[in-house]
Structures are given as structure tokens and as C-alpha cells.
Amino acid sequence: MDTVTESELAIALARQGGLGVVHRNLSIEDQAAEVDKVKRSESGMIVDPITLPPEATLAEAEALMGKYKISGVPITDSDERLVGILTNRDVRFATDYSRPIRDYMVADKLVTAPLGTTLLEAKEILHRYRIEKLPLVDEDGHLRGLITYKDILKKQDYPHSAKDERGRLLVAAAVGVGENGLRRAEAVIDAGADAIAIDTAHGHSKGVVDTIRALRARFPQIPILAGNVVTAEGVRDLAAAGASVVKVGVGAGSICTTRVVAGAGMPQLTAVLLCAAAGREYGVSIVADGGIRYSGDITKALAAGASAVMLGSLLAGLQESPGEVVIREGRSFKEYRGMGSLSAMKGRASDRYQTAQSESASPDISGKSVPEGIEGQVPYKGLLKDFVFQLMGGLRSGMGYVGAASLPEMWEKARFQRISRASFQESHPHSIIITKEAPNYQLSIGRS
């Protein structure tokens, strides 16, 4: 969703062990750039560090460091030999940003290390010389990698980070169907995307099946998340086409009006139960997408057979999500909209909700959309790491009540009980005026 996940939130989420899906309501180039920012945000060893030539200006260096949020750049010549390094402190008091980097970079007595240097060895070198960046060079002086002190600290600070084999954070990217979707997929995979999410409202369709097959043929190793579906038949067909993971949910999202506008959908828990059973039969995992309002809903979705959940509104109010914080009646909010809302359908993701009405519209209403979503505001929730801590704490408690130490145990031991409306109301705080909200329970979330 374009009000939920871009590079900043994807980075924060991966550091907590999650996977962000960068939305596709961007140009292909901009989406690929967002993916690239995530992949370059940290690494055990940066094997393809960003560099500049000594002839580049300070203005170019400042722009590059600002774009990737880095504090320094290795300087190489035309043969990729390391000739210097430029850091923030080298240009702290510079006034003429048209001057070349060579006038400011550190070129003498550069501290380097050979390829194969371990993180522990690098940490000792960085500490010994009181530096923050350690270039790795071959025997001819060519730059072959970079280890930074920040990356070493991040490994200590975020022990549960979701990373690839090179120590970079994991990130996925959303694509549509057809040739445009395939072009987008190729661009984001080239930028480093670890998975592709085919982003459509109705996943059990020929367009999605054909796109999965084409992606699987071009990229046999890339994980493909496809959806959304709510039936066993949908899971079967997407799995047969080559999907690795199937997203389940139609009309369950807080901003979705599909069930009201189109009369289509299925209760989310029922859909997850049905599709999870089919997933086990056809060898694919299930992601429950939509309807998550509290940490307890994550517990229920996983107990029903899902391997993961996809979050939208819960993350939209976080500091790292796109958009500015707005103040309304003394409280902080962030904008949030469904991809089926009118404003979102005017963007590049308009094909997510293809309707028969738009295809057969008469000339006097051509170009108009039939929305299946709304837009609004969600309460500001602060930093992602603090919010995810609450979500995971609730999930751990739920699994503890069931007596499950793992997801397979959860699937085996969990039982569901149908409850009445009175029981539902009893489950929430009642018979009291709440004067201080808990960090994991807010009145403004709404009850229905």
C-alpha cells in the first residue's frame, strides 16, 4: 500500500525480522530505487559499495550521501582503484560545494584490509585506528568491498533481522499482471528484491495465473507471493502455476469496501481455514491478508493455518510509514488509504481493481473508476520497533496459552470456539471508563 511501505518502513520491518513489500504506485524506476535503498541500508560486507570519482563535486557527494543516508563514500579512479575516502567530517565546514572531492578526501595513509577479512577482525581494525569505514581491496588496490562500524553495530542491535546470504536486509516488491508487471518485476529483481508479490484484488484469475507462469519461467528461484484468493480452488490454481506463497483475503481490510460494493468476499477466518487446508495439500504457505486489528488477531490467523500475516492499517500510523503526521483535535494521525480508493486508483496501481463496468463503460463515463476502498486517517503510533514488540508479545502470550512453541504446534493444538455477540463484548474492556490507553489496545481502533 502506498501509505504503508516504502524503503524506510521496509528497513525498520526487516530489522525486526519481518518483510516489507514496497508498493507499486510508483514509476518502475522509483520502485526499484526504493528496493535498492533497503538492500544498501546495511550489510555484513558491502560487496558493491557506492563510489565517486575524485573529479566529482562536493555537491554530488552530499546528494549521494543524503539519498542513501550514508556518512561517507570511497573514492575510486577509472580502474576502480581506491584513491581516497570522503566522510561527513571531511566536509563539515566546507562552503564551496562546486569544488572537487579530491580537495577534501583523505588520500594518505588509507587504512584498508584484504578480501576475506572477518567482521571480528574488521571490528578490531576499526577500533585500533578509530575509523568507521574499512575498505577491502585486492592485491592491486582495486576496491572489492566495504565494512562499516555501523553495520557491525546494527548486527548487534538487531539480532533478529531478516537478511540474505550477503547480510543485506530482505525486501519484497509488488507488481501487477501482464507485460508491465513482468517489466516491473525484472527491474526490482535487478535492484535486489528478494521476493515478488503479485498485487491484485482478485487473484483467482487468468491474468494472475499467466503472470505467475511467466515469472516462474524467467526467474525460477525467486519466491512469488500471489493473491488474493479465498477458496481452495484459488490456492490450487495459483500453486499449480508456480506460486510459492498464496495471500488470502478479499474484503477484510479496514479500508476495503469490496464486500459491500461488489458483493464478493468471504469472512477472513473462514477463508484462512479453507485455504490453509488447501495449502497443505498443494504445498504452498498461506499469508492472511486483512482484518488484523489487534495482536490477538495475528494469533488467530496463525492458529487457523496461516504461516504469516500481512499488515496494512496497523503499520500505516507508524513513524516510518510514508506521509506526514497531522494533528486533529489535539491528536496525531497519519493518512491511510486503500489501493481501491478513488485517489489510489488514479495512480499506477489502478489495474489492481479491474471491473467489468470500466471495460464496458459508455463514452460519457469513460475514465471514471468504481472504487472498492476508502481513505482516512489512523492514529499515530510512534516507532515500528516499539509497536512490533507489542505485537510479538501478544503473539507469544497467545501461543503460550495454547501450549505451542512453534507454528506447527500451534496448528496442531489450537481450537476455535464460536462465540456470541455478548461474548465478543465481554472479550473487550467493559464496565469501566478507560482513562489511559495501553500501548497494545486503543479505543480509536474501533469495535464492531
* Catalytic residue set: 256, 352
Residue 43 has phi, psi (to 5 degrees) of -165, 150
- Dist. CA 391–CA 217, nearest whole Å: 38
Q: How do beta strands 195-199 and 224-229 pair?
A: parallel
Containing 178, the helix (H) or strand (E) segment is helix 178-190
Q: Does residue 440 have a cis bond before it (omega within 30 degrees)?
A: no
Q: C-alpha grid cell for residue 233?
A: 480452488
- Dist. CA 200–CA 208, nearest whole Å: 8
Torsional sign, CA 270, 273, 276, 278: negative
3-state secondary structure of 92: coil
Torsional sign, CA 106, 112, 115, 118: negative
Per the CB < 8 A criterion, the answer to whether 212 and 189 are in contact is no
- Dist. CA 19–CA 414, nearest whole Å: 26
Q: Where are the alpha helices (DSSP H) in 242-383?
A: 258-261, 268-282, 295-303, 313-316, 342-345, 356-359
Containing 332, the helix (H) or strand (E) segment is strand 331-337
Q: C-alpha grid cell for residue 292?
A: 488484523
Task: Say how far residue 77 (Cα) sits from the centre of its chain.
Answer: 36
Burial profile 119-148: b = 16 or more Cβ within 10 angstroms, e = fewer: eeebbeebeeeebbbbbbbeeebebbbbbb
Per the CB < 8 A criterion, the answer to whether 173 and 31 are in contact is yes
Residue 141 region by backbone torsions, left for phi larger than 0, else alpha for psi between -120 and 50, else beta: left
Count other C-beta atoms under 10 Å from residue 336's C-beta. Answer: 23
Per the CB < 8 A criterion, the answer to whether 298 and 309 are in contact is yes
Per the CB < 8 A criterion, the answer to whether 138 and 128 are in contact is no
